[in-house]
Amino acid sequence: MRISVIGSGYVGLVTGGCLAAIGHQVVCTDSDESKIRTLNEGKLPIYELHLDAIIEKARRDGRIVFSSEVARAAHDGDAIFICVGTPPLETGDADLSAIDRCARLIASEAKSSKLVIEKSTVPVQTGQQLKRQLEVYGRTPGVKFTVASNPEFLREGTAVGDFLHPDRIVVGVDDAGAEKQLREIYAPILDQQFTCPVHDGKCPPAPKPPFVVTTINSAELIKHASNSFLAVKISYANAIAELCERIGANVQEVTRAMGMDPRIGSAFLNAGLGFGGFCLPKDIQAFIRLAEKAGVDFSMLKEAERLNKSRIDNFVEKMRRSLWVLKGKRIGALGLAFKAHTDDVRFSPAIDVVKRLLAEGAHVCAYDPEAMDRARFDGIAIEYAKEPAAVAKGADAVVILTEWPQFKQLDWKAMHDAMARPLLLDGRNLLDPAAMKAIGFEYHSIGRPD
Ligand code: UDX
């Protein structure tokens, strides 16, 4: 099927690349000409495991093209995926202006009937607005627009695997034809019949993903409800960590035992600096606002959001308790991305901590395997280390801010010896307290006895 994607960011490129990989003809568009130029030079504007190989193969097979002429998306595709950003406004509401622009552009440019699929994360009832805009701005007689919701459940760092081996595919439709077309688009994934670029054709045995068909409103709500629940789960673990620090228990032992109950599950119970990224923080905010507008006081989400914001304050306070004065101190920071396996620093707790240290007059030397260029581009005026061990040189403290697994393998004895003071604060509970103490560190972490 001929497919268009509007918005070539994390979601749009993974969607376009994977749909091309399973056999569709894809046009990926974006109004940001520099992004399209980068793509047409054979490079990716983002780092996402396996994506470069997928897009390179799709390009060689003539299955994907990139264009900054967004109107082309309305002309070329039978199905159009809207994958534009919906960042938070000051009010906490989602900014839907890009969605609105897409609707008006598709309506005015389409010369044949289209299936318009909202994949961006949007507040419930956006699909109804989308339908109305397409009708109101439609120009060509006889052209029919069908709207569907198809929320993404992609995690940065594993997005390609998440797309090709999803837990479920959710579609919100109010038209049998739309359901049929979406089944056709996703057929190779529903049947798990494709040459998998992630597992080199040897995918681990797994049940075929369910195809969940519901209404547009319910599909939009599933996305917000899922992400907000994940955020609540993380904040719950962080509240347990606060309690553990006061009563002398170990949050990792508590959450490990909790997770053995399949009704709870162990994922997303890691205490630390809290959740960041371009999704969870904005989705929980948008969900709170959406509930308020519907007359529901979702105070549970407000508390989860408040608690998450306090993680940064608590961590900086923990540093102050050890360092007393932060001004003039040399701090080595390991990690800048909002989580491991991504270069994304948007809404990163690591960046929040670094900004707080700079504001207090500390000198920060940071290392991140992937995110330093983006941090530099965002104007984070710190010293960037060429390799992780360099952050320890003459440092009064080293802080671990992102859960990159390679930080576990560092030569921590050498790091210890290079530091002015062997003070290590582990914001992601990455290391073993006993092992760090044995090396001679003053070691502090989250929710575990010092
Ligand atoms: C999230 C959702 O997981 C995904 O389903 C949705 O489609 C998009 O938003 P993502 O934003 O890529 O994905 O990151 P995720 O892996 O969810 O991590 C979000 C944040 O939570 C990160 O800052 C991570 O460090 C933090 N986190 C995660 C914790 O603090 N504790 C945990 O146990 C898990």
Which residue among 254, 268, 269 is best mutated to probe the pocket of ligand 1, counting the most ligand atoms within 8 A of its Cβ? 268
pLDDT one-digit tens code per residue, 40-50 = 999 999 888 99
Q: What percent of the chain has pLDDT over 90?
A: 92
- pLDDT of 1: 85
Residue 332, pLDDT above cutoff 90: yes
CA of 155 to the centre of ligand 1 (A): 7
Residue 266, pLDDT above cutoff 90: yes
In sequence order, the 6+-apart residues with CB closer than 8 A to the CB of 379 are none
279 is catalytic: yes
Nearest Cα neighbor of 290 from 156, 107, 125 is 125
pTM score, whole prediction: 0.94
Lowest mean pLDDT among 97-111, 196-210, 409-423: 196-210
The amino acid at residue 183 is R
- pLDDT of 57: 96
Q: How many distinct helices (H) and strands (E) make up the chain?
A: 16, 14
CA of 235 to the centre of ligand 1 (A): 12
Mean pLDDT of 292-318: 97
Which residue among 234, 344, 345 is best mutated to probe the pocket of ligand 1, counting the most ligand atoms within 8 A of its Cβ? 234
The two tokens of residue 197 are 């670029």
Assess whether the C-beta atom of 330 lies below 6 angstroms from ligand 1. no
- pLDDT of 380: 86
CA of 280 to the centre of ligand 1 (A): 7
- pLDDT of 336: 98
- pLDDT of 354: 98
Cβ-based neighbour number of residue 361 at 10 Å:
11
- pLDDT of 450: 80
**Rounded Cα distance, 181 and 11, in Å:** 20
**Rounded Cα distance, 196 and 203, in Å:** 7
CA of 278 to the centre of ligand 1 (A): 9
Do 343 and 278 touch, CB atoms closer than 8 A? no
Residue located nearest, by CA, to atom 19 of ligand 1: 275
Which residue among 230, 345, 403 is best mutated to probe the pocket of ligand 1, counting the most ligand atoms within 8 A of its Cβ? 230
pLDDT one-digit tens code per residue, 391-440 = 999 999 999 999 999 999 999 999 999 999 999 999 999 999 999 999 99
Do 138 and 145 touch, CB atoms closer than 8 A? yes
pLDDT one-digit tens code per residue, 217-232 = 999 999 999 999 999 9
